[in-house]
């Protein structure tokens, strides 16, 4: 009888231990699955945030592309319907050696804010034969599209005049210390609609 009681007790203990192990395994499995689900939810949220950022970037690119297309259409209309000149293009610094005794004041009386940082202004000087007072098509303040000038292609404002010995020539205003360059067969087109240079 003692032996049977011990056997019953051992069976009972085994059943309890087995049940505890099952409960423990179930709990670990449940916690593991919960952790996996939570981790997947976090990864899904992170991916959703990444997708939202990509969609915003795509929308920004589309808007920028539309602006570029509009600008190109305006430029195309200007090129087709405007005065065109072939010129030689060089560059100049706003210094006494290359200008007059007030190198930071252009021919149209505009002040150059900083002679060491003026390239971004997109201003040019043109030879006097191109200006209205010598029968040319351009006035100070006119905007022109410059093409076939390598890294200097773009939209510029005429602010200055060159020495009268030059003919069919333009000079790009450059920050003091910029590298020298020269372009031949540059095409200059008068803009009929004003552009904002960014």
Helix (H, G, I), strand (E, B) or coil at 131: strand
Q: Where are the beta strands (DSSP E) in 114-192?
A: 123-126, 143-147, 154-161, 169-173, 183-190
Q: Do 108 and 183 meet the contact criterion of CB atoms below 8 Å apart?
A: no
Q: What is the pLDDT of residues 85-128, one digit of tens each?
A: 899 999 999 888 888 888 888 999 999 999 898 999 999 999 99
Q: What is the pLDDT of residues 53-88, one digit of tens each?
A: 777 777 778 877 777 777 677 666 666 667 788 999
Classify residue 129 by burial, with Cβ atoms within 10 Å: 0-12, 13-18, 19+.
middle
* Protein fold of 83-190: Barwin-like endoglucanases (2.40.40)
Domain residue ranges of the chain, discontinuous segments joined by +: 1-81, 83-190
pTM: 0.60
């Amino acid at each position: 009888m003692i032996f049977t009681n011990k056997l019953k007790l051992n069976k009972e203990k085994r059943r309890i231990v087995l049940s505890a192990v099952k409960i423990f395994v179930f709990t670990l499995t449940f916690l593991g699955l919960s952790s996996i689900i939570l981790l997947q939810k976090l990864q899904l949220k992170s991916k959703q945030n990444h997708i939202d950022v990509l969609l915003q970037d795509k929308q920004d690119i589309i808007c920028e592309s539309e602006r570029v297309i509009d600008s190109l259409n305006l430029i195309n209309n200007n090129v087709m319907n405007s005065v065109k000149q072939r010129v030689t293009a060089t560059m100049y610094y706003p210094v006494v050696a290359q200008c007059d005794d007030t190198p930071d004041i252009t021919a149209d009386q505009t002040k150059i804010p900083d002679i060491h940082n003026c390239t971004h202004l997109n201003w040019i000087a043109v030879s006097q034969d191109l200006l209205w007072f010598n029968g040319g098509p351009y006035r100070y303040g006119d905007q022109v599209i410059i093409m076939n000038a390598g890294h200097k292609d773009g939209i510029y404002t005429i602010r200055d005049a060159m020495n009268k010995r030059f003919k069919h020539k333009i000079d790009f205003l450059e920050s003091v210390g910029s590298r020298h360059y020269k372009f031949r067969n540059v095409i200059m087109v008068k803009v009929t609609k004003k552009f904002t240079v960014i």
